[in-house]
Amino acid sequence: MPSARSSPVSRSARPKRTDLRFAVISDVHGNAHALDAVLADIAIQGVESIVCLGDNVSGPVDPAGAAERLMALSGPSIRGNHDRWTVDLSLKGSGKIDAFARSKLNDAQLAWLADLPATATHGDRVFLCHGTPADDEVPWLDMFFSGRATTLPGEAQVAALAGTFDYELLLCGHTHIARSVRLADGRMIVNPGSVGMQLVQGSPDARYAIVERRAAGWHTTLLVVPYDYEAAARLATANGFPQWAASLTSGWVGPESLR
Ligand SMILES: [Fe+2]
């Protein structure tokens, strides 16, 4: 029989403040099917607050549906590089998938996307960015994969990109690879992975994170959620992006397959 000391923390003893226990989602990429599964799982976990790290609508499944759901969230939300490229199709980097997403958004959804900030804070302990604090196109916790190859950077490189940002928890997305790392100075950096676009990880399931501030520091849970990815792939094909179907149904392919 476990002692009182080793008993798990009861739900009622958990922090109540929404900036001390919350869900982190990123890189939905217009996949409303995956987002619905993640939002349902977040509700099951009893988490009330959600922060979103951008690349919200650029994808072949249901950009408007994703925007509608994300606009209803109460937590802080930021833009990613693909959100910039969807708002302004003349920018270098903007492509066919961004133009498709833009064509599906109504005026209110496009205005919401255009108004998203590049970075944000959640309470006084948490900082949100898409790539790194300084650049939404720079990968942070893994070197952005070329084909199937991805490598993990050393501590000095990761710490340099963290700069002197004085936050306990730094959140990033962009690379679609879920990781949670801690710097020597105690700061934690978490990438929750991608909700709606899986690459090279060998699973089509949606990914997100739950973080919680406990007495010993930030506690991270990286979650993997199954959903109806076959239905999402059928929509991608019907919308003219059959090359995305392999990514959606397997999660094994690399980014080159989306071109
Ligand atoms: Fe992305």
Beta pairing, strands 120-122 & 126-128: antiparallel
Residue of 61, 52, 51 whose CA lies nearest to 29: 61
User: Taking the chain (259 residues) in consecutive chunks of 10 residues, what is each chunk's mean pLDDT?
Assistant: 44 71 98 98 96 98 98 96 98 96 98 98 97 96 78 93 95 96 97 95 95 95 98 97 91 81
Of 128, 130, 116, residue with least CA distance to 67:
116
Question: If you measure from the C-alpha of residue 56 to the centroid of ligand 1, how many angstroms do you get, rounded to a whole number?
Answer: 8
Q: Residue 182's pLDDT is what?
A: 96
Q: Give the number of other Cβ atoms within 10 Å of residue 158's Cβ.
A: 18
Report pLDDT for 10. 54
Query: Which amino acid, residue 224?
Result: V
* CB neighbourhood size of 172 (10 A): 28
Give the model's pLDDT for residue 13.
59
Enter the pTM of the model: 0.93
135 C-beta neighbours (distance < 10 Å), count: 15
* pLDDT given for residue 39 in this prediction: 98
Query: pLDDT value at position 98?
Result: 97
| Closest alpha carbon to 119 in 104, 134, 108 | 134
Cα separation, 173 vs 152, in Å, equals: 15
pLDDT at 4: 41
Task: Tell me the CA–centroid distance for residue 123 and ligand 1, in Å.
Answer: 25
Contacts of 177 (CB under 8 A, 6+ apart): 141, 142, 145, 150, 191, 193, 200, 201
Q: How far is the CA of 136 from the centre of ligand 1 (A)?
A: 10
- Centroid of ligand 1 to alpha carbon of 206 (angstroms): 13
Cα 13 to averaged position of ligand 1 atoms, centre (Å): 36
